[in-house]
Amino acid sequence: MECGNSGHRHSIVLICLHTFPALDTRKSAHYVFAMQLREHPLMRHRGSPSWPPVWTQVTEKGTKTVKGEVGVLRYVHGRPAISNKCFLVIEQQQERYVGCLIFDDLAFCAQITEVLKGHYGRAIKDIGDLDVSQTL
């Protein structure tokens, strides 16, 4: 099965939790970086973004593909100890599609596979919005 991808602009959201007056040099500001799953620098394979995958459905009538952050996550399958791929099953308009995420980093593949397993029933768009800054 071939896995596809689509391009996205990359951005980091900077959230200032607390600011201090500029004249008070004894204190400093604290910052938190939020990294959305879709923007994570390791969500790539050979330099190309892996998210979102191309969603494919194969039937006796032929092959259909859907692109973008569509559908609802129904199942995740990955064996990151032996593979750099994570397969996702979504439901879109009462039909099931399979997508494949491919990673260059096996450890990140394992982390994302486990994260995704905790989000069955969620919209793919919402999953793309997830803060995965703890994986940086």
pLDDT at res. 16: 35
Helix, strand, coil percentages for the chain (3-state, nearest 5): 15, 40, 45
SS3 95: strand
Query: What pLDDT score does 15 carry?
Result: 39
User: What is the DSSP pairing of strand 55-59 with strand 62-66?
Assistant: antiparallel
Residue by residue, pLDDT tens for the chain (136 residues) are 444 444 444 443 433 343 434 444 555 555 557 899 999 999 999 999 999 999 999 999 999 999 999 999 999 999 988 899 999 999 999 999 999 999 999 999 999 999 999 999 999 999 999 999 887 6
Domain locations along the chain: 41-131
pTM over 0.85: no
Question: Which element (helix H / strand E) includes 17?
Answer: strand 13-18
